[in-house]
Amino acid sequence: MNLRGTIPPHLGNLSFLLSLDLSSNNLSGHLPKELGQLHRLRIIQLSYNGLNGEIPEWLGNLQRVQRLEMENNSFTGTIPQTLVNMSNLEILNLQFNQLSGQVPSSIFRISSMKIISLFSNSLSGSLPNDMCQHLPKLEVLYLSRNELSGKVPSSIGATTFKFWHCSIINLRGSFQEVLEI
């Protein structure tokens, strides 16, 4: 569509909206808080823009969202803990942003999750040892090109991944040990 500028706040008045796809445009600026009124949304696709600022806490109030795709933007700050409230979330794609801090353990408790892609950010810290115990449907996990450290989570051995891509700096333990559990 080649839209330019910021996302208009009055989009928050479209209470009937089920899908918001503004991907692959030239949008910039922060996400307007008025979008938090779109409680019927199932799909949010804002990828491939120049959106920036922190990912807002109010996103967690959109509990019906199944797909949250905001890759290839310039979002900064941490991933909000409130995303755990998105109990229907199946796809979380925040790759290629400038996110920092730890990966919130709460996102590993969304049992509907199938794809988590946090590739190429500046996320740090270790992953929770039980991160895969509450993700029976998880098929894809992309965590590479971050600054993760620590031990390979033992719960990885109990998964049925189709794709697992993770680089952990200062890795302790081994995949052989994990997969033999």
Residue environment code for 110-143, b if the CB has 16+ CB neighbours within 10 A, otherwise e: beebbbbbbbbbebeebbbeebbeebeebbbbbb
Q: Which two tokens stand for residue 41?
A: 């949304």
pTM attached to this predicted model: 0.90
Percent of the chain predicted with pLDDT > 90: 70
Question: How does pLDDT run across 68-125, given as a tens digit for each residue?
Answer: 999 999 999 999 999 999 999 999 999 999 999 999 999 999 999 999 999 999 999 9
DSSP state of 49: S
Q: In this structure, what are the phi and psi dihedrals at residue 107, rounded to the nearest 5 degrees?
A: -70, -20
Q: Which domains does the chain have, with CATH numbers?
A: 52-179 (3.80.10.10)
Residue 29: name the closest of 3, 11, 1, 50 by CA.
Answer: 50
